[in-house]
């Protein structure tokens, strides 16, 4: 299995603290030695860094820790390969453009062999993973249903939830997805989140000896949410998502919650 | 105007030497302070690094110089903005997936305002540059003409040359484009190239005090070609491309040459 890390914030925020703990799981405190990647939506655009080597040894990962990139949305992934060899083309996150926006995706889990039959539309996988195939399926289906950006995003969210449920029917499918405005997190088995806002306190990483006092790095109106496969700190209370639940995040807040047998709130 | 740098090689080769000279033009010896980017096709996939800051001051650019990434094909660009503000979304190279391959593109030049009327198909620009619009036009037209990868690539090359000629009709359009196998270089006004092969000699950069003896870093069968807006070394003989000429590179060698009033050789 792999691990996921996401962030949604209402002000451009760097993810250095969470990423410092997360990357230790990539061959340090965790078994996820088969590559890592991180994507940033910044005010002026989108960029990603990917490396097929363990994050704990990666000079690019160290650069990300030392060179704060301020974002509204971040998606990161460390990989323990199951389907698809250890190579750059199989390293998350994956990206495709739809409606003139870069969509970014990372997956934790494994699908049964039925994934090969998932129909593809406008998008074709570059690598050989079940994850990227599922992403291309998902994006192709969204684009087929919405050739233009929907004027009512709620319809898109409901459609996305249905597609995620279909993928969960094929195995384990924990998802991070974003178009740079919204961050979508879907839980099949395991995802936890925390929202930090004033009054900010101290946080201590579980995976590395690092403490941060967020009060020193924030202003009173900042809202920053972090979503991860497992809680990254041991002195804060993280919320666990329920299986079948899709959360739609915007600017650090949960905009909508869609669960298996509910409509949006 | 911007500057372009490309490489095609028959063995995985790092571009540290050429890039060291090239990045000095990004705010050092040249006026191209408005961002830079570099894309690598490696044996296992594709990745790119982009930064909207001057390359000469960029910690990411320094990492690229110090961390040799071995590639068959590289495309790099430093920007002096004309159309589109200085922001990440306007920073080359641009990428889109077609036929399950990542296509990468960088443009030097400026098109007249007719570029806004270039029809778009499957691909939509994320930023606001004439360059990315022309890329989306070009990719959309190729995909429309070839919904599947052509069995005879020569037909694709002829079609690409025709599209480049059409874009040259709108202004200055020097191009680097690749699908990771072939590197396409099209000259509107200015592109030069050099092919290095045994016996390898010494090269001295024009823009920085750096000399390399390629004989120490190569084997006798290596063939490495470098393509740039202006020659990067002053003690070697670079070939200048002719306006209207498209070169198709593969593994360091010119596979095909298509010029304005010729068919492929």
Contacts of A90 in chain B (CB under 8 A): 44-45
Tell me the residue ranges of DSSP E strands in chain B.
3-13, 36-42, 45-51, 71-78, 94-98, 101-108, 174-178, 182-187, 192-196, 202-204, 211-213, 224-228, 239-240, 245-250, 253-258
A2 in active site? yes
pLDDT for A265 equals 44
Query: What proportion of chain B, given as a percentage, has pLDDT over 90?
Result: 72
pLDDT digits (tens, 9 = 90+) for B189-246: 999 999 999 999 999 998 888 888 888 888 999 999 999 999 999 999 999 999 999 9
Q: Count how many residues are written for chain A.
A: 265
What digits encode the pLDDT tens for the residues A9-65? 999 999 988 988 888 876 677 677 788 999 999 987 999 999 988 877 888 988 888
Q: Looking at the domain assignment, is residue A86 inside a domain?
A: yes
Burial class (CB in 10 A: 0-12, 13-18, 19+), B86: middle
Identify the CATH number of the domain in which residue B131 sits.
3.60.20.10
Residue at token pair 């459609």? A159
Q: What is the pTM of this model?
A: 0.94
Residue B263 lies in a domain: no
A120 lies within 8 A of chain B by CB: no
CB of B36 closer than 8 Å to CB of B81: no
Q: How does DSSP classify residue A166?
A: H
Set of chain A residues whose Cβ sits within 8 Å of the Cβ of B47: 48-51, 88
**Is A126 within 8 Å of B100 when comparing Cβ atoms?**
yes
Alpha-carbon distances of A31 from A27, A54, A171, A220, rounded to whole Å = 5, 9, 21, 38
Q: pLDDT digits over B87-136, tens only? A: 999 999 999 999 999 999 999 999 999 999 999 999 999 999 999 999 99
Confidence (pLDDT) at B27: 67
Kindly report the length of chain B: 265
pLDDT at B217: 86
Furthest CA-CA distance within chain A = 51
Question: Do the domain assignments include residue A177?
Answer: yes
Domain that includes residue B19, residue range: 3-258
- CA distance, residue B99 to nearest chain A CA (Å): 6
* Beta strands per DSSP E along A79-229: 94-98, 101-108, 174-178, 182-187, 192-196, 202-204, 211-213, 224-228
pLDDT in tens, B203-214: 999 888 888 888
Q: Which of A46, A67, A88 sits opposite B46 (nearest CB)?
A: A88
Residue with tokens 């599922």: A134
Please report the pLDDT score of residue B57 as a whole number: 80
**Token match 């989108």: residue?**
A46
As a dihedral over the C-alpha atoms of residue B176, residue B180, residue B182, residue B184, rounded to 10 degrees, the angle is -10
Domain count, chain A: 1
Query: Nearest-5° angle of CA B11, CA B12, CA B15?
Result: 115
Query: How much of chain B exceeds pLDDT 70, in percent?
Result: 97
**Cβ contacts of A52 on chain B, cutoff 8 Å:** 44-45
Q: Under an 8 A CB cutoff, do A97 and B102 touch? A: no
Q: Is residue B265 part of a domain?
A: no
* CA distance readout (Å), B145 to A245, B124, B167: 42, 17, 17
pLDDT along chain A (265 residues), means of 10: 92 91 76 87 91 84 88 93 85 96 96 96 96 98 97 96 98 98 97 95 87 88 96 94 98 96 54
Contact A97 B126 (CB under 8 A): yes
- Report the pLDDT value the prediction gives residue B96, as an integer from 0 to 100: 98
Bridge partner list, A192: A228, A240
Question: What pLDDT does B255 receive?
Answer: 97
DSSP-derived 3-state class of residue B3: strand
Examine residue B160 and state whether it is found in any structural domain, yes or no. yes
Q: How far is A68 from chain B (nearest CA, A)?
A: 11
Chain B contacts in chain A segment 32-71 (CB below 8 A): 42-52, 59-60, 63, 66-67
Q: Both tokens of residue B53?
A: 């800051």
Q: Give a yes or no: residue A263 inside a domain.
A: no
> How many of the other CB atoms lie within 10 Å of CB of A204?
15
B88 closest CB neighbour out of A44, A66, A88: A44
Closest CA of chain A from B194, distance in Å: 29
Which of the four pLDDT bands, split at 50, 70 and 90, describes residue B265?
very low
Interface test with B, best of A84, A97, A148 (most B CBs within 10 A): A97
Separation between Cα atoms, residue A137 and residue A120, nearest integer Å:
5
- By the CB < 8 Å criterion, does B199 face chain A? no
A191 part of a folded domain: yes
Contact A100 B125 (CB under 8 A): yes
Tell me, what's the pLDDT at B31?
Answer: 73
Q: Predicted ipTM?
A: 0.93
The answer to whether residue B264 sits within a structural domain is no
């Amino acid at each position: 299995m792999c691990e996921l890390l996401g962030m949604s914030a209402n002000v451009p925020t760097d993810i250095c603290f969470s990423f410092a703990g997360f990357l230790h799981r990539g061959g340090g405190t965790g078994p996820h030695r088969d590559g890592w990647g991180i994507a940033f939506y910044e005010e002026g655009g989108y960029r990603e860094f990917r490396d097929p080597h363990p994050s704990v040894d990666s000079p690019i990962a160290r650069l990300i820790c030392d060179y704060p990139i301020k974002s509204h949305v971040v998606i990161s992934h460390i990989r323990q390969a199951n389907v698809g060899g250890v190579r750059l083309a199989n390293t998350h996150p994956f990206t495709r453009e739809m409606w003139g926006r870069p969509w970014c995706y990372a997956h934790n889990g494994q699908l049964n062999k039925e994934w090969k039959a998932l129909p593809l539309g406008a998008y074709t996988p570059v690598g050989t993973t079940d994850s990227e195939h599922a992403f291309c399926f998902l994006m192709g289906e969204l684009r087929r249903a919405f050739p233009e950006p929907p004027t009512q995003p709620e319809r898109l969210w409901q459609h996305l939830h249905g597609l995620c449920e279909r993928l969960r029917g094929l195995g384990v499918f924990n998802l991070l997805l974003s178009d740079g405005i919204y961050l979508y997190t879907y839980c099949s088995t395991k995802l936890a989140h925390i929202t930090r806002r004033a009054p900010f306190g101290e946080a201590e990483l579980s995976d590395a000896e690092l403490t941060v006092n967020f009060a020193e790095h924030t202003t009173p109106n900042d809202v920053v949410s972090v979503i991860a496969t497992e809680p990254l700190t041991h002195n804060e209370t993280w919320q666990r998502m329920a299986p079948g639940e899709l959360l739609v995040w915007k600017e650090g807040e949960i905009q909508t919650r869609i669960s298996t047998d509910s409509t949006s709130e």
